[in-house]
């Protein structure tokens, strides 16, 4: 996915300032993560770029996913569903990689344009490295000023990282994503260890925060999203930080439903029949008929029950006991009324999950990443205050995924998750039993974090589709 360092593959367009680059990225549709061809059009004069999903042989570049403005360091999402499927969740890493490598190529193209003493090329390059979006990456290449010679401008840039620095966080106004200096969160991918786990074929746990959107009054489960990434999802918007952590031992899940004892004796059954008949009459608008049905039904049922001489005394004793709150039938007849005991289904249970991780920073960058992970989890799981402090807004919810490192998709032999709420987050700053920090970057030498998640929706049988080649929920 990385662009060529010598800019091979970038082709000039009709506008001499614009260049096109083609590369492969992944797009998640439902549960399938497929390769697509993406087109980047970048402008070496002003640093703006746009990303399109290639539509193949059809006319035009394809569906525009987003455009980037370096002056404001903002993106403008053009197709939100396509953008989320391509650059959030399991594919969140792609966004930072595309942005950073496009910036790198754009700066190199701008430098290559300064082949003479053309004042415009020089002015374009100087302006470019001083925009908000290119300032940090421009410093990584070299400091520029208008009085430098052309030779110095054409020197080879120093390698840069595809991971953005803290002041390079992209602002997405459509998704209310702001810079890392605010409390709204970012789209940043935070991983421990800091190396990309999938590059080494390692499986990992991925946790992505999303703004909570109420389900509303529609109680139909088929009209509500049943997880993240569905094409028709409308509950979960605005993805925030994505956290990637290594697999842990003792990963498990338990699916359960509730069944409970229930009774219905013969007298209750008779009363239920009378009530059902009256309700049917009332439902048809015949109130008089309903009252008549109830009166005649009561007379008929009790005539039937009292018709037997053997049962008459027991029934009288039963009602006498109900009147005074005592077991008259047991005391007088030595019997109990048959309760017709049965175990009946009472509803589904929501699953819960617990994870424990030990994070040991090995360098200052990894220490800062761990700090970001802890801050992001605590910020996203806590409630927010409304504008006038009158209400509390629901905390963010989380998408949990077990990722199979060989193809960066949902692990086919491990369970999937429904959207989850983080119900508890614990940090142990001295897991080794003593206080110890590093010099220079005063990070703790080790952290132990514990997370508890609860699914916000139950699981239904229709969600286990026969044609799916995975474990399901």
Chain segment 46-66, per-residue pLDDT in tens = 999 999 998 876 777 889 999
Chain segment 217-252, per-residue pLDDT in tens = 766 655 554 444 443 455 677 888 999 999 988 899
Q: Do 451 and 358 have their domain in common?
A: yes
H or E stretch covering 356: strand 352-359
Q: Do 251 and 388 have their domain in common?
A: yes
Residue 216 inside a domain? The answer is yes
pLDDT at residue number 175: 40
Q: How many domains does the chain have?
A: 3
Q: Do 280 and 248 have their domain in common?
A: no
Q: Do 263 and 251 have their domain in common?
A: no
Boundary of a domain, candidates 346, 373, 399:
346
H or E stretch covering 273: helix 266-283
pLDDT at residue number 35: 87
Q: Do 390 and 364 have their domain in common?
A: yes
Residue 176 inside a domain? The answer is no
222 strand-pairing partners: none
Q: Do 374 and 227 have their domain in common?
A: yes
Angle between helices 80-87 and 92-113 (to 10 degrees): 90
- pTM score, whole prediction: 0.62
- Is pLDDT larger for residue 303 or for residue 77? 77
Q: Do 231 and 105 have their domain in common?
A: no
pLDDT at residue number 296: 61
Chain segment 97-156, per-residue pLDDT in tens = 888 888 888 988 888 887 766 678 888 888 888 888 887 665 544 433 333 333 332 223
Are 105 and 134 in contact by the 8 Å Cβ rule? The answer is no
Are 398 and 208 in contact by the 8 Å Cβ rule? The answer is yes
Task: Quote the domain boundaries for residue 235.
Answer: 188-255+351-463
Boundary of a domain, candidates 346, 374, 407:
346
Chain segment 395-416, per-residue pLDDT in tens = 999 999 999 887 778 888 999 9
**CB-neighbour burial class of residue 360 (10 A; exposed 0-12, middle 13-18, buried 19+):** middle
In a 13 Å sphere around the CA of 358, the CA atoms on its Cβ side amount to 7
Nearest Cα to Cα of residue 417 among 224, 246, 205, 213: 205
Percent of the chain with pLDDT over 90: 31
Residue 175 inside a domain? The answer is no
348 strand-pairing partners: 257
Q: Do 144 and 48 have their domain in common?
A: yes
Q: Do 355 and 334 have their domain in common?
A: no
Residue 183 inside a domain? The answer is no
Edge-to-edge strands, sheet with 74-77: 11-12, 18-29, 32-43, 49-54, 62-69, 74-77
Residue 6 inside a domain? The answer is no
Are 343 and 261 in contact by the 8 Å Cβ rule? The answer is yes
Are 338 and 332 in contact by the 8 Å Cβ rule? The answer is no
Chain segment 72-114, per-residue pLDDT in tens = 888 899 998 899 888 887 788 788 888 888 888 898 888 888 7
Boundary of a domain, candidates 329, 346, 363:
346
Nearest Cα to Cα of residue 201 among 2, 358, 408, 35: 408
H or E stretch covering 248: none
178 — pLDDT class (breaks 50, 70, 90): very low
Q: Do 98 and 206 have their domain in common?
A: no
Residue 208 inside a domain? The answer is yes
Question: How many CB atoms neighbour CB 44 within 10 A?
Answer: 26
């Amino acid at each position: 996915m990385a662009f060529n360092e010598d800019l091979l593959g970038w082709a000039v367009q009709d506008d001499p300032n614009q260049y096109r680059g083609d590369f492969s990225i992944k797009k998640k549709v439902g549960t399938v993560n497929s390769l697509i061809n993406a087109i980047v059009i970048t402008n070496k004069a002003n640093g703006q770029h746009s990303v399109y999903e290639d539509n193949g042989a059809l006319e035009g570049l394809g569906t525009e996913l987003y455009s980037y403005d370096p002056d404001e360091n903002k993106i403008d999402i053009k197709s939100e569903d396509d953008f989320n499927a391509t650059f959030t969740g399991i594919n969140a890493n792609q966004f930072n990689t595309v942005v950073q490598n496009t910036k790198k190529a754009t700066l190199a193209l701008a430098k290559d344009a300064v082949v003479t003493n053309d004042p415009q090329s020089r002015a374009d390059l100087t302006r470019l490295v001083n925009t908000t979006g290119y300032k940090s990456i421009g410093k990584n290449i070299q400091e520029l000023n208008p009085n430098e010679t052309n030779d110095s401008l054409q020197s080879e840039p120093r390698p840069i990282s595809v991971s953005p620095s803290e002041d390079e966080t992209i602002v997405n106004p459509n998704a209310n994503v702001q810079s890392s200096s605010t409390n709204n969160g970012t789209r940043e991918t935070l991983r421990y260890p800091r190396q990309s786990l999938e590059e080494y074929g390692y499986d990992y746990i991925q946790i992505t925060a999303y703004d909570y959107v109420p389900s509303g009054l529609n109680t139909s489960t088929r009209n509500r999203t049943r997880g993240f990434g569905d094409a028709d999802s409308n509950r979960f918007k605005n993805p925030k930080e994505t956290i990637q952590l290594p697999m842990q031992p003792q990963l498990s899940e338990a699916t359960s439903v509730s069944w409970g004892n229930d009774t219905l004796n013969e007298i209750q059954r008779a009363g239920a029949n009378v009530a059902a008949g009256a309700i049917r009459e009332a439902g048809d608008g015949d109130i008089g008929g309903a009252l008549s049905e109830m009166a005649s039904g009561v007379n008929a049922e009790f005539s039937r029950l009292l018709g037997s001489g053997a049962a008459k005394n027991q029934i009288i004793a039963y009602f006498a006991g109900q009147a005074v709150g005592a077991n008259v039938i047991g005391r007088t007849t030595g019997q109990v009324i048959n309760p017709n005991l049965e175990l009946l289904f009472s509803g589904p249970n929501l699953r819960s999950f617990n994870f424990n991780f030990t994070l040991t920073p090995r360098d200052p960058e990894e220490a800062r990443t761990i700090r970001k992970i802890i801050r992001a989890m605590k910020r996203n799981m806590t409630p927010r205050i409304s504008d006038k402090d009158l209400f509390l807004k629901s905390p963010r919810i989380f998408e949990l995924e077990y990722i199979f490192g060989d193809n960066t998709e949902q692990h086919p032999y491990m369970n999937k998750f429904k959207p989850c709420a983080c119900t508890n987050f614990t940090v142990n700053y001295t897991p080794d039993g003593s206080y110890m920090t590093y010099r220079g970057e005063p990070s703790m030498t080790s952290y132990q974090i514990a997370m508890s998640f609860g699914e916000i929706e139950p699981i239904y049988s229709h969600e286990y589709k026969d044609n799916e080649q995975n474990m399901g929920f």
